[in-house]
Structure 1
Amino acid sequence: MKAIPFLFTLGLVGASAMSLNAVTVPLAGEWRFQLDHADAGLGGQWFARTLPEKFTLPGSLPAAGIGDAPSLETKWTGGVQAPKWFEAPRYAPYAKPDNFKFPFWLQPEKYYAGVAWFQREIEIPQDWEGRRVVLFLERVHWESRVWVNGRCVGTNHSLSTPHEYELGVVEQASSLSAPNGQDARPANRLAPGRHTLTIRVDNRRIVDIGENSHGITDHTQGNWNGIVGRIELHTTPLVWIEDAQLFPVLAEKSLSLRGWLGNASGKAGEGELIVRAHPRAASDAPNSTATPPTEIRKPVAWRERGGEFAMVIPLAGAVPWSEFAPGPTELEVTLLIPDGATSGRRIIAGLRDISTSGTQLTINGQKTFLRGTLECAIFPRTGHPPMEVEEWRRIIRVAKSHGLNHLRFHSWCPPEAAFQAADELGMYLQVETCWPNQSTTLGDGKPVDAWSYEETERILKYYGNHPSFILMAHGNEPGGRNANAWLAKYVEHFKAKDPRRLWTSGAGWPQLPENQFHVTPDPRIQAWGGGLQSRINAKPPETTTDYRDYIAARKVPVISHEIGQWCVYPNFDEIPKYTGYLKPRNFEIFRDLLDKNGMGGLAKQFLLASGKLQTLCYKEDIESALRTPGMGGFQLLDLHDFPGQGTALVGVLDPFWEEKGYVTAAEYSRFCNSTVPLARLKKRVFKTDETLEAEIEVAHFGAASLADVAATWKLVGEAGAVLANGRLATSDFPPGNGLAPVGHVSADLKGLKAPAQCRLVVAVERGHQAASPPERRSGVNAAPRTKFENDWDLWVYPANPKIEAPKDILVTAQFDAAAQQHLASGGKLLLTIPGSQVRNHDVEPVKLGFSSIFWNTAWTGRQAPTTLGILCDPKHPALAGFPTEFHSNWPWWYLIHRAGALRLDLLPKGVEPIVRVIDDWFTARPLGLVVEGAVGEGRVVVCGFDLTRDADDPVSRQMRASLLAYMGSAEFQPKSRLTPGQLRSLLNESSSP
Structure 2
Amino acid sequence: MEDWAALRKETMGKIDLCGSWGFCLDGEKEGIKREYYKGNLQDTIILPATVSTAKKGKLSEDVPEEQRNTGSLTDPYFFEGYTWYTKTVELADLTDREFFLVLERTRISHVWIGEEHIGSNNSLCTSHRYCITPYVKKEMKLTIMVDNTPASYPVAGGHMTSVDTQTNWNGITGEIYIEELSSIFLSNVRIYPDAAGRLIKVRAVLNGAEKCRVRANVAGEGEALGGKDFDLSAGENLFSCELKETALTWSEHTPNLCRLILTLLPEGQREKDLTSAEFSYPFGLRDFKAVGHYFEINGNKTFLRGKHDGLIFPLTGHPPMDLDSWLRVLGTAKEYGINHYRFHTCCPPRACFEAADILGIYLEPELPFWGTVTEEGDENHNPAAQQYLIEEGYRILDEFGNHPSFVMMSMGNELWGSKKAINHILKGYKSYDDRHLYTQGSNNFQFMPSILDQEDFFCGVRFSRDRLFRGSYAMCDAPLGHIQTSAPDTVHNYDSLIRPGEVLTGTGKDGEVTIQYGTGTKTVKMEDSEEVIPEIPVVSHEIGQYAMYPDFSEISKYTGVLKAENLKIFRERLKAKGMLHMADAFFKASGSFAVDCYKAEIETALRSRELAGFQLLDLQDFSGQGTALVGILNAFMENKGILTSGEWRQFCSDAVLLAELPGFVYAAGEEITVGIKLALFRLTALPSPVVELCLLDGDNVILKKEQSLRDDYGNGVYKLCDFTVNLPEIQKPRKLTLQISLKDQDIENHYDLWVYPERKPDAAHNDVIITESLVEAIENLEKGRRVILYPDFLTKENSIPGTYCTDFWCYPMFRSISESMDRPIPVGTHGLLIKKEHKIFRNFPTEAYTTAQWYDLISGSRAYILEESTIEPIVWTIDNFERNHKLGNLFEVKAGEGRLLVCTLHLQESKKSLPARWFEYCLMEYAGSDDFQPENVIDLEKLKEMK
Deviation of 1:487 after TM superposition, in Å, equals: 0.9
* 1:546 and 2:493 matched: yes
* 1:109 and 2:109 matched: no
Deviations 1:556-575 (A, max 9, x none): 11100000001111111111
State the match for 2:144 in structure 1.
Answer: 199
* 1:528 and 2:474 matched: yes
Q: Which one of the candidate residues 886, 894, 897 is aligned to 2:848?
A: 886
State the match for 1:274 in structure 2.
Answer: 215
Q: Which one of the candidate residues 8, 28, 31 is aligned to 1:41?
A: 31
Q: Which one of the candidate residues 448, 452, 456 is aligned to 2:385?
A: 448
* Residue identity in the other structure for 2:368: C
* Residue identity in the other structure for 2:402: N
| Contiguous gaps of at least 5 residues in structure 2 | 463-468, 500-532, 817-824
State the match for 1:316 in structure 2.
Answer: 245
State the match for 2:130 in structure 1.
Answer: 165
* Residue identity in the other structure for 1:402: Y
* 1:690 and 2:649 matched: no
Counterparts of 1:795-814 in structure 2, within 5 Å, are: 795-804=754-763, 806-814=765-773
The answer to whether the Cα contact below 8 Å between 1:846 and 1:866 also exists between their aligned partners in 2 is no
Classify the secondary structure of the residue corresponding to 2:33.
coil
| Cα distance in 2, alignment partners of residues 105 and 116 from structure 1 | 25
Deviations 1:819-839 (A, max 9, x none): 3332222221111236xx424
The answer to whether the Cα contact below 8 Å between 2:695 and 2:704 also exists between their aligned partners in 1 is yes
* 1:130 and 2:96 matched: yes
Counterparts of 1:928-943 in structure 2, within 5 Å, are: 928-943=888-903
* 1:850 and 2:804 matched: yes
Deviation of 1:623 after TM superposition, in Å, equals: 0.3
State the match for 2:226 in structure 1.
Answer: 294
Classify the secondary structure of the residue corresponding to 1:820.
helix
| Cα distance in 1, alignment partners of residues 74 and 253 from structure 2 | 40
State the match for 1:247 in structure 2.
Answer: 192
State the match for 2:779 in structure 1.
Answer: 821
State the match for 2:700 in structure 1.
Answer: 721
Specify whether residues 478 and 449 from structure 1 end up closer, same or farther in structure 2 by C-alpha distance, changes over 3 A only.
same
| Cα distance in 1, alignment partners of residues 775 and 769 from structure 2 | 12
State the match for 1:496 in structure 2.
Answer: 431
Q: Which one of the candidate residues 273, 279, 291 is aligned to 1:357?
A: 291
Classify the secondary structure of the residue corresponding to 1:160.
coil
Deviation of 1:536 after TM superposition, in Å, equals: 2.5
* 1:326 and 2:292 matched: no
Specify whether residues 643 and 726 from structure 1 end up closer, same or farther in structure 2 by C-alpha distance, changes over 3 A only.
same
Counterparts of 1:49-88 in structure 2, within 5 Å, are: 49-67=39-57
Deviation of 1:336 after TM superposition, in Å, equals: 2.2
The answer to whether the Cα contact below 8 Å between 2:674 and 2:725 also exists between their aligned partners in 1 is no
Deviation of 1:414 after TM superposition, in Å, equals: 0.5
| Contiguous gaps of at least 5 residues in structure 1 | 1-11, 72-93, 169-187, 281-289, 767-785, 988-993
The answer to whether the Cα contact below 8 Å between 1:700 and 1:733 also exists between their aligned partners in 2 is no
Specify whether residues 788 and 985 from structure 1 end up closer, same or farther in structure 2 by C-alpha distance, changes over 3 A only.
farther
Specify whether residues 637 and 852 from structure 1 end up closer, same or farther in structure 2 by C-alpha distance, changes over 3 A only.
same
Counterparts of 1:516-665 in structure 2, within 5 Å, are: 516-522=456-462, 523-529=469-475, 533-552=480-499, 553-665=533-645
Specify whether residues 940 and 689 from structure 1 end up closer, same or farther in structure 2 by C-alpha distance, changes over 3 A only.
same
Specify whether residues 846 and 951 from structure 1 end up closer, same or farther in structure 2 by C-alpha distance, changes over 3 A only.
closer
The answer to whether the Cα contact below 8 Å between 1:471 and 1:503 also exists between their aligned partners in 2 is yes
Q: How many pairs were matched up? A: 885
Specify whether residues 213 and 949 from structure 1 end up closer, same or farther in structure 2 by C-alpha distance, changes over 3 A only.
closer
* 1:29 and 2:19 matched: yes
The answer to whether the Cα contact below 8 Å between 1:66 and 1:111 also exists between their aligned partners in 2 is no
Classify the secondary structure of the residue corresponding to 2:581.
helix
State the match for 1:474 in structure 2.
Answer: 411
State the match for 2:117 in structure 1.
Answer: 152
| Cα distance in 1, alignment partners of residues 539 and 674 from structure 2 | 27
State the match for 1:860 in structure 2.
Answer: 814
Task: Give the stretch that moved more between structures: 107-116 or 724-733.
Answer: 724-733
* Residue identity in the other structure for 1:657: M
TM-score of the superposed pair, with normalisation by structure 2: 0.90
The answer to whether the Cα contact below 8 Å between 2:857 and 2:910 also exists between their aligned partners in 1 is no
Specify whether residues 438 and 904 from structure 1 end up closer, same or farther in structure 2 by C-alpha distance, changes over 3 A only.
farther
| Cα distance in 2, alignment partners of residues 538 and 133 from structure 1 | 63
| Cα distance in 1, alignment partners of residues 151 and 484 from structure 2 | 44
Deviation of 1:43 after TM superposition, in Å, equals: 2.6
Task: Give the stretch that moved more between structures: 542-551 or 62-71.
Answer: 62-71
The answer to whether the Cα contact below 8 Å between 1:31 and 1:118 also exists between their aligned partners in 2 is yes
TM-score of the superposed pair, with normalisation by structure 1: 0.86
| Cα distance in 1, alignment partners of residues 123 and 4 from structure 2 | 20
Deviation of 1:805 after TM superposition, in Å, equals: 5.6
* Residue identity in the other structure for 2:703: A
* 1:464 and 2:401 matched: yes
Deviation of 1:728 after TM superposition, in Å, equals: 2.1
Classify the secondary structure of the residue corresponding to 1:235.
strand
Specify whether residues 927 and 731 from structure 1 end up closer, same or farther in structure 2 by C-alpha distance, changes over 3 A only.
farther
Deviation of 1:980 after TM superposition, in Å, equals: 4.1
Deviation of 1:220 after TM superposition, in Å, equals: 0.7
* Residue identity in the other structure for 1:299: D
Classify the secondary structure of the residue corresponding to 2:850.
coil
Classify the secondary structure of the residue corresponding to 1:129.
coil
| Cα distance in 2, alignment partners of residues 984 and 798 from structure 1 | 39
State the match for 2:885 in structure 1.
Answer: 925
* Residue identity in the other structure for 1:335: L
Deviations 1:891-930 (A, max 9, x none): 1121111211111215x42x22111111101122211110
| Cα distance in 2, alignment partners of residues 532 and 257 from structure 1 | 50
The answer to whether the Cα contact below 8 Å between 2:674 and 2:722 also exists between their aligned partners in 1 is yes
Q: Which one of the candidate residues 656, 660, 673 is aligned to 1:676?
A: 656
Deviation of 1:438 after TM superposition, in Å, equals: 8.5
* Residue identity in the other structure for 1:269: E
* Residue identity in the other structure for 1:60: T
Deviation of 1:638 after TM superposition, in Å, equals: 0.2
Deviations 1:573-600 (A, max 9, x none): 1111111121000000000011111111
Specify whether residues 114 and 658 from structure 1 end up closer, same or farther in structure 2 by C-alpha distance, changes over 3 A only.
same
The answer to whether the Cα contact below 8 Å between 1:851 and 1:865 also exists between their aligned partners in 2 is no
Deviation of 1:225 after TM superposition, in Å, equals: 0.4
| Cα distance in 1, alignment partners of residues 791 and 815 from structure 2 | 28
The answer to whether the Cα contact below 8 Å between 2:474 and 2:480 also exists between their aligned partners in 1 is no
Deviation of 1:677 after TM superposition, in Å, equals: 0.5
| Cα distance in 2, alignment partners of residues 881 and 421 from structure 1 | 53
Specify whether residues 345 and 138 from structure 1 end up closer, same or farther in structure 2 by C-alpha distance, changes over 3 A only.
same
The answer to whether the Cα contact below 8 Å between 2:440 and 2:452 also exists between their aligned partners in 1 is no
| Cα distance in 2, alignment partners of residues 904 and 916 from structure 1 | 10
Classify the secondary structure of the residue corresponding to 1:536.
helix
| Cα distance in 1, alignment partners of residues 154 and 941 from structure 2 | 58
Classify the secondary structure of the residue corresponding to 1:960.
helix
Identity %: 31
Task: Give the stretch that moved more between structures: 967-976 or 434-443.
Answer: 434-443
Deviation of 1:309 after TM superposition, in Å, equals: 4.3
The answer to whether the Cα contact below 8 Å between 2:625 and 2:813 also exists between their aligned partners in 1 is yes
- Superposition CA RMSD, Å: 2.3
| Cα distance in 1, alignment partners of residues 712 and 20 from structure 2 | 60
Deviations 1:270-313 (A, max 9, x none): 32111221124xxxxxxxxx5434222112232xxx45343334
Q: Which one of the candidate residues 107, 118, 141 is aligned to 2:85?
A: 118
Q: Which has the higher contact order (CA 8 A, sep 6+)?
A: 1
* Residue identity in the other structure for 1:861: R
Classify the secondary structure of the residue corresponding to 2:412.
strand
* Residue identity in the other structure for 2:751: W
